[in-house]
Structure 1
Amino acid sequence: MNLSRSIAAPVDDALQAAAAPCEPALARDSRQALSADGPLAAVLPGFRPRQAQQDFAAAVASAFEDRAVLLAEAGTGTGKTFAYLVPALLSGRKTIISTGTRALQDQLYHRDLPRVRDALGTGLRTSLLKGRANYLCRHRLERARGENRFQTPVQADHFQRIVAWGGRTRMGDLAELESLPEDSPLLPLVTSTADNCLGSECPFWGECFVVQARQRAQEADVVVVNHHLLLADLALKQEGFGEILPGAEAFVVDEAHQLPELAAQFFGEGLSARPLVELARDAVSESHGVNGALAALQEPARALEQGTRLLRAAMDVLPARGTRQQLLAAPEVVESLDALGSALLALADALVPLADAAPGLEACLLRARDQRGRLGRWRDLDVAGDADVDVDVDTGSATGGARVPPPVSDDDVRWYELSPRGFRLQRTPLDVSGPLRTHRERSRAAWAFTSATLAVEGRFDHLSTRLGLDDPRLLIVPSPFDWASQALAYLPPDLPEPSSRDYTAAIAAAVRPVLEASGGRAFLLFASHRALREAAEVLRGGPWPLFVQGEAPRHVLLQRFRESGNGVLLGAASFREGVDVAGGALSVVVIDKLPFASPDDPVFEARLEAIRRAGGNPFRDEQVPQAVIALKQGVGRLIRSETDRGVLVLCDPRLLGKGYGRRFLDSLPPFPRTRDVADAVAFFAGD
């Protein structure tokens, strides 16, 4: 692999002038657009030209020109979003840009993309496309209006707001309803899934927000999606369902470090409690207006819902997560699985003579067969008798039989996971590099994978292997920040081993002087929720308001933290990304332990075993690289702009006490380091 490293310091003008003619025209134009005399500097207030940003934009542009694959790490502060938007807009090629989350997707589409497009003066058409669960389904809304599924007056009030909004919205994007919680139980009632969508049989087909959004995406030059939608599209293509986003000539995958884990979900197959309960309820709901349907379906639907609840109750004897072997070792669970399979078969049999009477009942029949097939494949049982597949290429939903399942492999990991009231049975492929490589090669498009956290010790081997990238172009663009003056890394001495019972209490004592010097303004990141709760108890009652993950919705906690001015935010693994607090509100980041993956993850354990069987070293080849990338994500919360200042507190004594600790330290930005708390306190003396 040929690794090029871009240095943030200015490049000699003569050398750059000599190199410029060697670059493709798009690369030169992209550099110029981001230069001091370019259109972005002329139009955007506060825009600052950065050599690193220009280098990154030129690399993306060159990949576009050559239809090549680029794997690029762009350090925090590089301005990578503008750096890939400029060549995407200047190229004129149909470009798909995929982000890690819906929140980042909205930010990119509604804020960053219009600013760059207007500055460049391009007339390209742009589109925002989300998964169907983000759009109001008029058919489902009308069904819900005729039923009373509301458990509280608050839910009834929220539903009336949805109805009122549904009458005036143009896009149908539920993100427009800011007052609706992200986890609202109303969402399944007013949105569709690939299973319950009626396709062209729907009475609201001509007004469908999902169809309209896809049509806009097909006509646009630049389409902004998220990884879930991108991977759902790839999985559908693998099954021969046709493309949602045809004709793309270039793909930009931001936050690409998330892709392998997400891909494993989409190229696998799952069965969970909620879709089973929804199927039972939908079968009864769709029976209204069809002679004899309610009498035929009420009992098998009730049996399915009851069977789902009984299975969850039987699983109470199990750990929260485990392998199929663990689950099948419990006789009462096996008995409940058998009963669930029988309930699905009984419902399907009851639906067969009714399927032609209404599109909704036909869809329920297909769903019952699909869920039974998933259960059978998870158990390695032969489930015969399901119909062949006929797929609606516009919706991606089956219209004549059960869904084509992802192919079964001997390397698939079958596992389960419990939530407080539900369960999930999952089949996950160990290696997704093959399907990712196949789709990328078939697309014949340019691909740029980027993130601030891709490399381990300056190398991309770990991620490129998992993404199926055989010989990508490689680029590391360091952060332009002045680490020597903006930041300090404090490694507290004399801490006990992380496995020690009093480890969290020792951390709280070690960081308290730093918090006192900074006046709070801190983010404490923990490897487990148990440690998070212990630290919260120790720190509660102090001079700083505490904002603890789990005590309020994520966006509410972050908003309150920003507004407090002196708060202390405590979070676990899911807070490693998305905590973007620039300025003085966040001046300390504390990381309690090296973020090694949980030992109870069946997929991760199977991956380690596969590495061991192949003659590799699981700890060196998988556990450490994955933990390094996770640590870099947490560290990246500290310095978000050229004017930020802060102290990073790395508590884990293994960083200096174990040989592998050097791999972590060498992968981080060049922080000055100290073991003296007085240095950390003095850092804030001038604040």
Structure 2
Amino acid sequence: MSGGNTVVALLGDDGPLAKAITGFRARLPQQQMAAAVAQVLAEGGTLVAEAGTGVGKTFAYLVPVLVDGRKVIVSTGTRNLQDQLFHKDLPLLCQALGLSVRRALLKGRSNYLCTHRLRLAVAEGPLLPARLHAPLQQVERWAAGTRTGDVAELSQLPEDAEIWARVTSTVDNCLGTDCSDYQDCHVLRARRRAQEADLVVINHHLLLADLALKDEGFGDLLPSAAAFILDEAHQLPDVAGHFFGVTLSARQLLELARDTVAEQVNEAPDMPWLRECADDLVKAVKDFRLAMGEGMRRAPWSTLAVAPGMAVAMESLQTALQSLSEALALAAQRGKGLEGCARRVQDQLQRLALFGGPREDAVQWYETWTRTFSLHLTPLDVASLFRQHRGACDSAWVFTSATLSVDGNFDHFNRRLGLDAPRGLQLDSPFDYGTNARLYLPEGLPEPNAPGYTEAVAQAVLPLIQANPGGTFMLFTSHRALQVAAAWLSHHLDRPVLVQGSAPRQELVTRFRKVGNGVLLGAQSFWEGVDVRGQALSCVVIDRLPFASPGDPVLEARIAAIRRDGGSPFTALQLPQAVIALKQGVGRLIRDPQDRGLLVLCDPRLRSKSYGRLFLQSLPPVEQARTLPEALDFLRHLAPQSETD
């Protein structure tokens, strides 16, 4: 029996999974994808597979990988999926299939406790801000017993807690083989487990950091893999742009200053001028931020470089880094910690120099927050870079997601990643959208750029929310529109209104699920990854077509580059990206065969513009509710029968 036939049988109604997993049923699209993955594992090459919600793509690629037995790296877009694959799906499949496969979970170094930096933080003692004392004690207690050092184990502290930056390492501040804790390093142990494993679960950030040779990683692990499976692959082009570029942030600069002080206390207490140089750098960073102006912005660097006072702030920052560099050059021989700081300051001087003049092959841009900032150099085109780095690994590649195609083909995705004529496989969702879902396009709404558009959207969907026996999920293309809608709905609804930013994302989703008939409002990151099944999410409202903001500096530069080459930025870039983003949002509605719900797309351009057809064709095969009464009637019938009798 060939590999393809084998995996099809394993995923069949008479296979071991059906016997071992309650509720498992054979799905033809899942079997088709599994056979395609088995084929590319056996023959090599590249497969791009779009698997609609409900296909079961996770099992469709894991079963062939487990049966194949060679070393495979599975990369995901999020740490949540990474953890689910490793802790839930893989143990379940290995048990059901009776296979003993060495598995490893590998995350980026910032996900692991650094015992050296923990000691430095403890040694700082009273120098630490008082707000960090209690979290540091929590970390100390956990550190005494952890075997993996994975910070996710300490669930009492949020993953963005301030203390983590003090007790984890980065590529910049890791001492490597010079560290006294090197043999007991949690990152090193995780990499050793990955080297010895047959199947390694990582994430795109880690994969791309290593492809870009930025030493997040695991050295010779990539070339040793027979295959790479990249789930949530629609995220790759944007993630690749970040990792093939350069960033210099206030956080990096301030961490260097802080680490210099900590290492001076530890290794050179008789060199107090190091602290003075570090303090000068802190002041220069703060002055640089002040020169950037107030507010939160994301814009081309060229617009800021000529601003009043910016040249002076730039020179002061460069001078402070240079002074610290000279001081650290004298102190480096006193210990490995100070030697590491000396290397880091040189690297940051080189990064700052990249913003001394214009670049043709990359986008220079900046981002500001209330008290901090970052400078970015992002390649205009990642396709050639990704192709070059991927070519160093003689492996089979599988790219999969629920949203990769536009207008029935993968041309846009393939072009952005430089994939040359890969095999394509498009598998529609097996869910019965015709019976279980309806699409409603409200009439009479103004154009999306008209004043009062968001209030008009809220008013148009209010009767739908009130008629819905379950929960309503509203997706917005901007945080400003989200806040406007939240304020309006809070005054017109007697249901719980849950708003992104008012609590951590997972907490909001949990509350939304528990309430059962609430309204959850989200933007950007909420367009994907929200998985609420059953009546708790039975209506999805999308305020407008998700075209990326034309003011985004990276998009703006790429649009200009396409125009210079004689192309159409709208058809080559903006439209296909918006179609993929819409498909992600729409995918929140039906998550289970029993789910039923109403999809509401509010943007009048779906009817008035010729490109509206492309968006509608990208949707699952769902019937339209032509009028508001039809939509209301469909919603009312979603209630359990006992409630409607």
Match in the other structure for 1:349: 326
TM-superposed CA distance for 1:523, in Å, is 0.4
User: 5+ unaligned residues in a row in structure 2: which ranges?
Assistant: 640-645
TM-superposed CA distance for 1:240, in Å, is 12
TM-superposed CA distance for 1:149, in Å, is 5.3
Match in the other structure for 1:475: 425
SS at match of 1:415: strand
CA separation in 2, counterparts of 1:531 and 1:278? 35
CA separation in 2, counterparts of 1:325 and 1:495? 38
Q: Deviations over 1:262-292 (max 9, x none)?
A: 0010000010001101101111110124446
The one-letter code sitting in structure 2 at the alignment partner of 1:471 is: A
CA separation in 1, counterparts of 2:608 and 2:189? 58
Match in the other structure for 1:564: 515
Given that 1:233 and 1:243 are in contact with CA atoms closer than 8 Å, whether structure 2 keeps it comes out as no
The one-letter code sitting in structure 1 at the alignment partner of 2:290 is: A
Query: 1:432 aligned to 2:359?
Result: no
**What are the within-5 Å matches in structure 2 for residues 467-506 of structure 1?**
467-506=417-456
Given that 1:318 and 1:327 are in contact with CA atoms closer than 8 Å, whether structure 2 keeps it comes out as no
CA separation in 2, counterparts of 1:566 and 1:529? 23
Aligned CA distance change for structure 1 residues 330 and 237 (closer, same or farther; 3 Å)? closer
Query: 1:465 aligned to 2:442?
Result: no
Match in the other structure for 2:622: 671
TM-superposed CA distance for 1:319, in Å, is 6.9
The one-letter code sitting in structure 2 at the alignment partner of 1:560 is: R
TM-superposed CA distance for 1:512, in Å, is 1.1
CA separation in 2, counterparts of 1:51 and 1:637? 23
Match in the other structure for 2:67: 90
CA separation in 2, counterparts of 1:522 and 1:46? 28
CA separation in 2, counterparts of 1:110 and 1:29? 25
* Residues 293-302 or 70-79, more deviating: 293-302
Match in the other structure for 2:311: 334
**What are the within-5 Å matches in structure 2 for residues 203-222 of structure 1?**
203-222=180-199
Given that 2:296 and 2:369 are in contact with CA atoms closer than 8 Å, whether structure 1 keeps it comes out as no
What is the CA RMSD across the aligned residues, in angstroms? 1.6
CA separation in 2, counterparts of 1:239 and 1:191? 13
Given that 2:223 and 2:393 are in contact with CA atoms closer than 8 Å, whether structure 1 keeps it comes out as no
The one-letter code sitting in structure 2 at the alignment partner of 1:539 is: L
TM-superposed CA distance for 1:355, in Å, is 0.5
Query: 1:577 aligned to 2:554?
Result: no
TM-superposed CA distance for 1:675, in Å, is 3.0
CA separation in 2, counterparts of 1:520 and 1:544? 11
**What are the within-5 Å matches in structure 2 for residues 304-343 of structure 1?**
304-316=281-293, 320-343=297-320
**What are the within-5 Å matches in structure 2 for residues 289-304 of structure 1?**
289-291=266-268, 293-304=270-281
Query: 1:160 aligned to 2:111?
Result: no
Aligned CA distance change for structure 1 residues 472 and 142 (closer, same or farther; 3 Å)? same
TM-superposed CA distance for 1:48, in Å, is 1.2
Aligned CA distance change for structure 1 residues 562 and 294 (closer, same or farther; 3 Å)? farther
Query: 1:507 aligned to 2:507?
Result: no
TM-superposed CA distance for 1:159, in Å, is 1.7
CA separation in 1, counterparts of 2:268 and 2:536? 64
Determine which of 565, 571, 579 is the counterpart of 1:620. Answer: 571
Determine which of 116, 126, 135 is the counterpart of 1:139. Answer: 116
* Residues 643-652 or 508-517, more deviating: 508-517
Query: What TM-score results when the alignment is normalised by the length of structure 1?
Result: 0.90
TM-superposed CA distance for 1:151, in Å, is 3.6
CA separation in 1, counterparts of 2:574 and 2:604? 18
Given that 1:217 and 1:245 are in contact with CA atoms closer than 8 Å, whether structure 2 keeps it comes out as no
TM-superposed CA distance for 1:516, in Å, is 1.2
Query: 1:106 aligned to 2:83?
Result: yes
Given that 2:533 and 2:592 are in contact with CA atoms closer than 8 Å, whether structure 1 keeps it comes out as yes
TM-superposed CA distance for 1:177, in Å, is 1.0
* Residues 158-167 or 435-444, more deviating: 435-444
Identity %: 53
* Residues 237-246 or 476-485, more deviating: 237-246
CA separation in 2, counterparts of 1:479 and 1:233? 34
TM-superposed CA distance for 1:350, in Å, is 0.4
Aligned CA distance change for structure 1 residues 152 and 635 (closer, same or farther; 3 Å)? farther
TM-superposed CA distance for 1:685, in Å, is 2.9
Determine which of 266, 271, 277 is the counterpart of 2:248. Answer: 271
**What are the within-5 Å matches in structure 2 for residues 414-425 of structure 1?**
414-425=364-375
TM-superposed CA distance for 1:190, in Å, is 0.6
CA separation in 1, counterparts of 2:135 and 2:580? 40
TM-superposed CA distance for 1:94, in Å, is 0.5
Query: 1:365 aligned to 2:342?
Result: yes
TM-superposed CA distance for 1:317, in Å, is 5.5
Query: 1:192 aligned to 2:164?
Result: no
Given that 1:218 and 1:246 are in contact with CA atoms closer than 8 Å, whether structure 2 keeps it comes out as no
The one-letter code sitting in structure 1 at the alignment partner of 2:402 is: A
CA separation in 2, counterparts of 1:59 and 1:493? 44
SS at match of 2:636: coil
The one-letter code sitting in structure 1 at the alignment partner of 2:423 is: R
**What are the within-5 Å matches in structure 2 for residues 653-668 of structure 1?**
653-668=604-619
Determine which of 341, 359, 362 is the counterpart of 1:412. Answer: 362
TM-superposed CA distance for 1:296, in Å, is 2.5
TM-superposed CA distance for 1:293, in Å, is 4.8
Q: Deviations over 1:533-585 (max 9, x none)?
A: 11111111422101100111111111111111111100011110111111111
CA separation in 2, counterparts of 1:78 and 1:268? 35
Query: 1:650 aligned to 2:605?
Result: no
**What are the within-5 Å matches in structure 2 for residues 538-617 of structure 1?**
538-541=488-491, 542-617=493-568
Aligned CA distance change for structure 1 residues 241 and 46 (closer, same or farther; 3 Å)? closer
Given that 1:462 and 1:621 are in contact with CA atoms closer than 8 Å, whether structure 2 keeps it comes out as yes
Given that 1:96 and 1:252 are in contact with CA atoms closer than 8 Å, whether structure 2 keeps it comes out as yes
CA separation in 1, counterparts of 2:327 and 2:454? 57
TM-superposed CA distance for 1:150, in Å, is 4.6
TM-superposed CA distance for 1:477, in Å, is 0.5
The one-letter code sitting in structure 1 at the alignment partner of 2:375 is: L
CA separation in 2, counterparts of 1:333 and 1:538? 41
The one-letter code sitting in structure 2 at the alignment partner of 1:436 is: F
Task: Report runs of 4+ in structure 1 exceeding 6 Å deviation.
Answer: 237-241
Match in the other structure for 1:286: 263
Match in the other structure for 2:643: none
Given that 2:211 and 2:390 are in contact with CA atoms closer than 8 Å, whether structure 1 keeps it comes out as no
TM-superposed CA distance for 1:520, in Å, is 4.9
CA separation in 2, counterparts of 1:134 and 1:237? 16
SS at match of 2:299: strand
Match in the other structure for 2:99: 122
The one-letter code sitting in structure 1 at the alignment partner of 2:293 is: D
Query: 1:638 aligned to 2:589?
Result: yes
TM-superposed CA distance for 1:239, in Å, is 12
SS at match of 1:659: coil
User: 5+ unaligned residues in a row in structure 1: which ranges?
Assistant: 1-20, 382-408
Given that 2:472 and 2:539 are in contact with CA atoms closer than 8 Å, whether structure 1 keeps it comes out as yes
* Residues 257-266 or 534-543, more deviating: 534-543
Q: Deviations over 1:14-62 (max 9, x none)?
A: xxxxxxx8xxx21111111100011111101111110000001111111
Given that 1:489 and 1:650 are in contact with CA atoms closer than 8 Å, whether structure 2 keeps it comes out as yes
Aligned residues: 636
Given that 1:284 and 1:294 are in contact with CA atoms closer than 8 Å, whether structure 2 keeps it comes out as no
CA separation in 2, counterparts of 1:208 and 1:334? 43
The one-letter code sitting in structure 1 at the alignment partner of 2:585 is: G
Match in the other structure for 1:400: none
Query: 1:536 aligned to 2:513?
Result: no
CA separation in 1, counterparts of 2:466 and 2:295? 44
Query: What TM-score results when the alignment is normalised by the length of structure 2?
Result: 0.96
Aligned CA distance change for structure 1 residues 520 and 316 (closer, same or farther; 3 Å)? farther
Aligned CA distance change for structure 1 residues 72 and 91 (closer, same or farther; 3 Å)? same
The one-letter code sitting in structure 1 at the alignment partner of 2:422 is: P
CA separation in 2, counterparts of 1:158 and 1:271? 28
Match in the other structure for 1:390: none
Given that 2:296 and 2:370 are in contact with CA atoms closer than 8 Å, whether structure 1 keeps it comes out as no
Given that 1:236 and 1:243 are in contact with CA atoms closer than 8 Å, whether structure 2 keeps it comes out as no
SS at match of 2:146: coil
CA separation in 1, counterparts of 2:221 and 2:338? 26
CA separation in 2, counterparts of 1:239 and 1:593? 38
CA separation in 2, counterparts of 1:659 and 1:379? 44
Given that 2:210 and 2:217 are in contact with CA atoms closer than 8 Å, whether structure 1 keeps it comes out as no
TM-superposed CA distance for 1:118, in Å, is 1.2
Given that 1:60 and 1:84 are in contact with CA atoms closer than 8 Å, whether structure 2 keeps it comes out as yes
Match in the other structure for 2:233: 256
